[in-house]
Amino acid sequence: MLRAVETLWRRATAHIDGPLMAAVMLLVVAGMVTLYSASNQSFDRMENKLFNLGVAFAVMWIAANIPIAQLMRLAMPAYLAALVLLVAVALFGDVRNGARRWLDLGFISLQPSELMKLALPLALAWYFDRYESSLRLRNYAIAALLFILPVALIARQPDLGTALLIAASGCYVLFLAGLPWKVIFALAGLGVAALPLLWSVMHDYQRTRVMILLDPAQDPLGAGYHTIQSTIAVGSGGWFGKGWLQGTQTHLDFLPERTTDFIFAVYSEEFGLFGNALLLLMFLLVIGRGLVITLNAPTLFARLVGGSIAMTFFTYAFVNMGMVAGILPVVGVPLPLISYGGTALVSVFFGFGLLMSISTNRKLNRS
Amino acid sequence: MAQYIELRNLEGEMSEFRRRVAVAGVFVLVLFAVLLGRFFWLQVVQHDYYLTQAEANRISLVPVVPNRGLILDRHGAVLAHNYTAYTLEIDPARAGDLEATIDALAGIIEIAPRDRRRFKRLLDESRQLSAIPIRTRLSDEEIARFAANRFRFPGVEINARLFRRYPNGTLASHVVGYIGRINKKDVERLEEDGLIANYRGSEHIGKTGLEQTYERELHGITGMAQVEVDSGGRAIRTLSRTPPVSGNNLRLHLDLRLQQAAEQAFGGRRGALVTIEPSTGGVLAFVSMPGFDPNLFIDGIDPQTWSELNTHPDRPMVNRALHGQYPPGSTYKPFMALAALELGRRTPQYSINDPGFFMLPGSSHQYRDWKPGGHGSVNMHQSIVISCDTYYYQLAFEMGIDAIAGFMRHFGFGARTGIDLAGEAIGINPSPEWKQRRFRQKWFTGDTISVSIGQGYNITTLLQLANATAIVANRGTVYRPHLVNSIQDATTQAHRPVLAEAVRRLDFRSQNWDIVHRAMVDVNMPGGTGHRAFAGAAYTVGGKTGTSQVIAIRQGQKYDASKIDERHRDHALYVAYAPADEPRIALAVLLENAGGGGANAAPLARSVIDFYLLGTPVRPVDAEAAATAPARHAPRG
């Protein structure tokens, strides 16, 4: 009996990467603790998040148990499907809050850009894996096209934040696939040169956000309110914070969106610089473990997917904390594992599932 | 061979990949270091700044309004006090559509049209964005009904507020005045005076009367509470509190019972009366009839009632005793007599032969005495007792206007008495310089003749007349008339006296006072113009009747056409002091358009003095009969 349980446990955890799991759990606990405070001790929110975590773990477990080679076959079809949906959004999508992002399929309404977040790195990785032995500059050009199409479509919705984040995940794949340094520098130079052009095609609200970043005080009760209140929360935290459940900015309702995009301000106010350093360390553990798994991945596809997942995870964390701390514009990016919100949680855990699949399949292959 | 190359190639690729992962790792570390640096900047270097900001966010200073001081008469009877009541208030900034909100509120709480009008007016006048009352003095039931429906009304709240109340209504309304809601003009004035900080949270300010004059004493010092608030401005808890200091109480010299008796004695007639205690200058009663109900003004009077009060032909809002200006008529004669004695222009024995008129040398114009045919032989004593005009025409002609104007300054004519009540009129003590300034015209000798009997350019307030009478009564000691006796400190309960000392003394010869006093006493004796009114008085009384000619009362208003005749009748005047040998009360009374002073004003003075000295209740006056009493052939003086 005991043996049977033991076997079942071993089976169930065969594809779970221990170190990654441990690092993720640290962040999950930090997230729960913060959410409890941010929601003014609401157990409803906690229960909800626990349920979301359950779903996310299930998704992660399933992803971890899919051999990476099988996933590779799904990469291109998933990408094409997401691309078709993005085109459909551009043609028939619903306008919500002034942006055309949602597609109503009758039974479900979805944001195809969320799908593309996962599909794009997979597709790029698949492409490089396929032409692994004969990579030329032409291949990079085609790969670039693969990611410029969806990014442009999303940017036009307009959803510049998501577009840039998806572009970043694509860039990580290109970079890890070995895009020559010369090209990288050339593109970077071009990018800087194109900034004024970007400015001219940006929407007014996007420009406002950038301007607000440079000077939040110009509209303290409007667009600058979020940034001002979150920097006050962070700054007033000091070395060790005001203590759990003691943040005045949080509990007197000055912080907007404090359970979702601005939850880091709550954490930062209550735990201070010391807590922030600790949180950065936890994120580093997850990212680091992801990169280590990537280094030991068996195939190019696995390496590129793994690397992209780890780096995208980092990007989300960095952009969110940078936004709360007032060095990046306000974009709707949650802090992974900490912010309240089911969809983002599930997709992050799906990524961890893929990393675990890469990590454990290699071991199994070897043995 | 080929395989070897491919393997080497693979090795190369792997090491390039490792390098790239390493670069990515460094990238991560660098950006996290940037974040950490930013956190250090915010949380350590700038910590104090942001902590202050967070505290400023959360802590709000809420003013705590002090209790306004009470106003009490000399015996402690209350003229103005405070009570707490619940008001329904609308914050225009949060309520959205005001009309719709009020309509919906009217469904659960009674809102009269005048409440709406008042709300509108307050909305126009209100300073900044504060809650404005739509209903005051809610009943418990109304509070309960609103509480149950509260969710339907964002920006509508019930607040407990302190209210002012004048329990005596119209009684002494022109003395007490009223408070009203602070408007933009008040704010400007408070800012100029540097007092605006003390008015944070205050809704009301004294607008007229003692409420205005003693605003600084009555208001008190606003307290402060440090309150923790959330982002919506709702108070969460009080952190600390500096209690407010209540305003000081005013203890008046005024005797409310005498005031009431005096107002009753007017019996609905228009006019004014001022009584002063000669030994102190304290005002015992201060009447301007008709009065008004000051309670109407406290929370903003509705525009209709306001315009009714202002356009009423009886002008209830005009303080006739303080601001009304009337020719003193023959009440001026005792002062002229004193001038003649003091300046050596007349001896008491000097007599004139009065033919019933006076003519200036080289002129055929006759200045007529009120008595056709004249009084015959008249000396100074008689000139006062029977109020002979011709005696004074001739006297004034000989004295000249400069001597008269100079002397009259001693009694305060043409200058403010300095009473502690804002808005005092100045009157006119006519002189050539004054006429030059006012009309850019030369003074004519004829002008002097009219001045001598209190007509012409001569204009005084009732307060000046009463004050001058008090000076005569106490043989030359001048006090500044005052309503407030002492100010009671709200915290220590100690009384601080106000204005008890004499301002100056008139050093006139004692026998001159005696001569005039004797004449004034005989005015009320058989043969005198005031005899009828004071027949059988249990005390001696010095007095002087007066009748002042009117074109219109001097405020330039239009009168109701149907009443024009009545409004052109003479004003009845009387000044008096009693008991004559040791005066305890001095007064001046005027009845507008009532006719002769002896027949009309003197009886009123008698009932007031009777009440004060003997406690005799005032008999109700038949107002109708009094108002229509024939006034044509009554003596002027």
- Give chain A's end-to-end CA distance (angstroms, integer): 27
CA dist A78 and A116 (Å) reads: 8
pLDDT in tens, B274-291: 999 999 999 999 999 999
pLDDT exceeds 60 at position B411? yes
State how many domains chain B has. Answer: 2
Nearest chain B Cα to A320, which residue?
B35
Residue among B13, B32, B43 whose CB faces A238 most closely: B43
Residues of A with Cβ-Cβ distance to B58 under 8 angstroms? 248-249, 252, 254
Identify the pLDDT of residue B130: 67
Write the CATH number for B337: 3.40.710.10
Residue B363 maps to a domain: yes
The pLDDT score that the predictor gives to residue A164 is: 86
pLDDT at B635 over 50: no
Domain membership flag for residue B636: no
Residue of A nearest to B29 (CA): A284
Q: Which of B28, B36, B54 sits opposite A232 (nearest CB)?
A: B54
* Helix intervals (H) in B47-183: 47-58, 92-95, 98-106, 113-125, 140-149, 173-176
pLDDT at A332: 80
Q: Give CA separation, A152 vs A113, A167, A193, B404, in Å.
A: 11, 9, 18, 102
Token pair recorded at residue A313: 């995870």
Query: B499 and B587 in one domain?
Result: yes
CA dist A227 and B327 (Å) reads 74
pLDDT at B127: 56
Alpha carbons B181 and B202: distance in angstroms, whole number: 9
DSSP category for residue B456: T
The one-character DSSP state at A33 is H
Same domain, residue pair B182 and B281: no
> Is A272 in contact with B43 (Cβ distance < 8 A)?
yes
Q: Which residues of A touch B43 (CB under 8 A)?
A: 234-235, 237-239, 268, 272-273, 276
Same domain assignment for residues B219 and B271: no
Taking alpha carbons only, the member of B329, B122, B305, B79 closest to residue B211 is B79
Q: What does pTM read for this prediction?
A: 0.67
- Residue B436 dihedral angles phi and psi, to the nearest 5°: -65, -45
CA distance A156 to chain B (A): 29
In a shared domain, residues B217 and B296: no
Q: Tell me how crowded residue B57 is: count the other CB atoms within 10 A of its CB.
A: 21
Last residue of a domain, one of B252, B274, B289: B252
* Angstrom distance (rounded) from CA A265 to CA A255: 8
Written as one letter, the residue type at B295 is N
Q: Give me the amino acid identity at A173.
A: V
- Degrees (nearest 5) of the Cα angle B389, B390, B395? 100
Show the tokens assigned to B27: 């990238």
Q: What ipTM does this complex have?
A: 0.93
Residues of B in contact with A232 (CB under 8 A): 50, 53-54, 57
- CB-based contact B50 A236, cutoff 8 Å: yes
Write the DSSP symbol of residue B42. Answer: I
User: Which residues 231-290 of chain B have a CB within 8 Å of chain A?
Assistant: 231-232, 236
CA-based nearest residue to A114, from A291, A290, A342: A342
Residue-level pLDDT, tens digit, chain A, 367 residues: 788 899 998 888 888 999 999 999 999 999 999 999 998 888 888 998 999 999 999 999 999 998 888 888 989 999 999 999 999 888 887 777 666 777 777 666 677 888 898 899 999 999 998 887 777 778 888 888 888 899 999 888 878 788 888 999 999 998 998 888 888 898 888 888 888 887 887 777 777 777 776 666 666 666 678 888 999 999 999 999 999 999 888 888 888 888 889 999 999 999 999 999 999 999 999 999 999 999 999 889 999 999 999 999 999 999 999 999 999 888 888 999 999 888 889 989 999 999 999 998 755 444 3
Residue B204 domain flag: yes
The DSSP bridge pattern shows strands B504-505 and B283-289 to be unpaired
Give the one of A248, A291, A311 whose C-beta lies nearest to B58's C-beta.
Answer: A248
Contact A325, A231 (CB under 8 A): yes
DSSP bridge partners of B326: B460
Q: At which of B235, B252, B269 does a domain end?
A: B252
Query: B123: domain CATH number?
Result: 3.90.1310.10
Q: Which of A172, A248, A281 to mutate to test the interface with B (most CBs of B within 10 A)?
A: A248
Please answer yes or no on whether A234 and B50 come within 8 Å at the CB atom. Answer: yes
Pull the structure tokens for residue B523.
């005015």
- Option in B28, B53, B57 nearest A287 (CB): B28
Strand partners, B224: B63, B242
Alpha helices in A202-262 (DSSP H): 204-214, 225-237, 248-251
| Spatial contact of B457 and B430, defined as CB atoms under 8 Å apart | yes
Same domain, yes or no, for B518 and B622?
yes
Residue-wise pLDDT tens digits, B443-499: 999 899 999 999 989 999 999 999 999 999 999 999 999 999 999 998 888 888 886
For chain B, the farthest-separated pair of C-alpha atoms sits apart, in whole angstroms, at 163
Q: Tell me, what's the pLDDT at B631?
A: 39
Q: Could you tell me if B434 and B583 lie in one domain?
A: yes
Q: Which residues neighbour B619 within 8 Å (Cβ) at sequence distance 6 or greater?
A: B607
* Helix (H), strand (E), coil (C) string for A69-136: HHHHHHHHHHHHHHHHHHHHHHHHCEEECCEEEEEECCCCEECHHHHHHHHHHHHHHHHHHHCHHHCC
Q: Which of A248, A280, A291 is closest, CB to CB, to B21?
A: A291
A321 chain-B contacts, CB cut-off 8 A: 35
B-chain CB neighbours of A253 within 8 Å are 230-232
Contact A239 B43 (CB under 8 A): yes
- As a whole number of angstroms, the distance between CA B170 and CA B177 comes to 10
A-chain residue closest to B19, CA distance: A176
Supply angle C-alpha B463, B466, B469, rounded to 5.
150
Mark yes or no for CB contact A252/B35 under 8 Å: no
pLDDT tens for each residue of B532-554: 999 888 999 999 999 887 653 33
The alpha carbon torsion through A27, A30, A31, A34 (nearest 10 deg) reads -160
Report the C-alpha gap between A3 and A23 in whole angstroms. 29
**Residue of B21, B43, B55 with shortest CB distance to A237:** B43
Q: Give yes or no: residues B360 and B444 share one domain.
A: yes
B153-204 confidence digits (pLDDT tens) = 877 888 888 889 999 999 999 999 999 888 888 888 998 888 888 888 888 8
Domain co-membership, B72 together with B160: yes
Asked if B147 has any chain A CB less than 8 Å from its own CB, the reply is no
- Verify that B245 and B288 share a domain, yes or no: no
Q: How far apart are CA B588 and CA B565, in angstroms?
A: 25
Domain presence at residue B440: yes
Q: Is the C-alpha dihedral spanning B470, B461, B74, B214 positive or negative?
A: negative
A205 vs A203: CA distance, rounded Å: 6
Return the number of other C-beta atoms located less than 10 Å from residue A293's C-beta. Answer: 26
The answer to whether B224 and B232 are in contact (CB under 8 A) is: no
B523 and B572 together in one domain: yes
In this predicted structure, the answer to whether residue B634 has a pLDDT above a threshold of 60 is no
**Phi and psi at residue B320, in whole multiples of 5°?**
-65, -30
**pLDDT for residue B126:** 64
Residues B221 and B264 in one domain: no
Give the pLDDT of residue B555: 39
- Quick one: pLDDT at residue B250? 94
Q: How far apart are CA A292 and CA A289, in angstroms?
A: 5
**d(Cα A46, Cα A36) in Å, to the nearest integer?**
7
| B50 chain-A contacts, CB cut-off 8 A | 231-232, 234-236
Contacts 24+ apart (CB under 8 A), A102-111: A110/A85
The answer to whether residue B136 sits within a structural domain is: yes
Active-site residue (options: B126, B202, B330, B450): B330
Q: Are residues B351 and B207 in the same domain?
A: no
Residue of B nearest to A277 (CA): B36
The first and second tokens of residue B41, run together, are 């900047």
Residue B356: partners with Cβ closer than 8 Å, 6 or more residues away:
B368, B369, B371, B372, B373, B374, B375, B390
What pLDDT sits at residue B637?
47
pLDDT at A350: 93
Residue of B23, B50, B229, B237 to mutate for A, most A C-beta atoms under 10 A: B50
By the 8 A CB rule, do B499 and B483 touch? no
* Least Cα separation, residue B65 to chain A (angstroms): 26
Candidates A235, A254, A284; nearest CB to B47: A235
Structure confidence at residue B9 as a pLDDT band (50, 70, 90): low
What's residue B124's pLDDT?
A: 77
Which of the four pLDDT bands, split at 50, 70 and 90, describes residue B134? Answer: confident
Spatial contact of A126 and A75, defined as CB atoms under 8 Å apart:
yes
Which of B13, B29, B35 is the mutation pick for testing A, counting most A CBs within 10 A?
A: B35
Cis peptide before B579 (omega within 30 of 0): yes
Choose the closest CB to B50 out of A232, A283, A295: A232
Question: What's the CA gap between B574 and B326, in Å, rounded?
Answer: 13
* Domain housing B512: 256-305+321-484+495-627
B58–A contact, CB cutoff 8 A: yes
Q: How far is the C-alpha of B304 from the C-alpha of B293, rounded, in Å?
A: 15
Nearest CA to B579 out of B613, B545, B535 is that of B613
Containing A313, the helix (H) or strand (E) segment is helix A300-324
Nearest by Cα to B382 from B344, B409, B346, B342: B346
Residue B37, in any domain of the structure: no
Residues of A with CB under 8 A from a CB of B: 133, 172, 175-176, 178, 229, 231-239, 248-249, 252-254, 268, 272-273, 276-277, 280, 283-284, 287-288, 291, 294-295, 303, 307, 311, 314, 318, 321-322, 325-327
Query: What DSSP assignment string belongs to B202-245?
Result: --EEE-SHHHHHTHHHHH-B-EEEEEEE-TT--EEEEEEEE--B
DSSP-derived 3-state class of residue B397: helix
Beta bridge partners of A99: A96
Interface check for B81 against chain A (CB to CB < 8 A): the answer is: no
Q: Is the peptide bond before A150 cis (omega within 30 degrees of 0)?
A: no
Average confidence score pLDDT of chain B:
86
- Kindly state whether residue B51 falls inside one of the protein's structural domains: no
Split at pLDDT 50, 70, 90, the class of B620 is low
Bridge partners, B545 (sequence order): B574
With contact defined as beta carbons under 8 Å apart, do A169 and A315 qualify? yes
Measured CA to CA in angstroms, residue A279 lies from A284, A328, B189, B626 at distances of 9, 19, 58, 96
CB atoms < 10 A from the CB of A22, how many?
12
- Residue B560 pLDDT grade (very low, low, confident, very high; cuts 50, 70, 90): very low
Return d(Cα B277, Cα B281) in angstroms, integer: 5
Rg, chain A, Cα only: 21
Q: What is the pLDDT of residue A141?
A: 85
**Domain membership flag for residue B570:** yes
B330: annotated active-site residue:
yes
Distance from CA of A10 to the nearest CA of B (A): 32
B514 touches chain A (CB under 8 A): no
B359 Cβ contact partners less than 8 Å away, ≥ 6 residues apart: B365, B366, B367
